[in-house]
Amino acid sequence: GIEIVESAVRDAVANAERNHLKNIRFRCGDSATAEAEGMHFDCIVIDPPRKGCSPAMIEALTRLDPKRIVYVSCNPATLARDAALLAEAGWMITRAQPFDMFPRTGHCETVCMLTKDNR
């Protein structure tokens, strides 16, 4: 896992230890630079801020070319924008699930699975 917020990395490490997961690593950093370190992923889970993915992150996802992308979004507008950019690179939304985690507000979380149609 790559996370830009240091406290979230500490929480992830503690959670992995608590669940006896041995085949997982976490580091603090910008996920848009993962491909520079020779990493390969079958599935990438992203949870960008409300402003959505940076252009560098979209480019990194395209270069990393995972089989699946799980996109967790708190902003339908930036999810739509990023999904359109990813569609240009061959991914399509195959599943989507909204979650009303903030009742009586206009906010809604959405989790989407994107896959490439040639896989």
pLDDT given for residue 40 in this prediction = 77
pTM of the model: 0.84
pLDDT given for residue 21 in this prediction = 94
Q: What pLDDT tens digit does each residue of the chain (119 aa) get?
A: 888 899 999 999 999 999 999 998 898 988 887 666 677 788 999 999 999 999 999 999 998 899 999 999 999 999 999 999 999 999 999 999 999 988 898 888 999 999 986 54
Residue 52's CB: how many other CB atoms inside 10 A? 21
- Residues 6 or more apart whose Cβ sits within 8 Å of residue 51: 75, 78
pLDDT given for residue 75 in this prediction = 93
Q: Which helix (H) or strand (E) holds 110?
A: strand 109-116
pLDDT given for residue 117 in this prediction = 67
Contact 66, 34 (CB under 8 A): no
User: Number of helices and strands (H, E) in the chain?
Assistant: 3, 6
In the chain, the amino acid numbered 58 is I
Which residue numbers are catalytic? Answer: 74
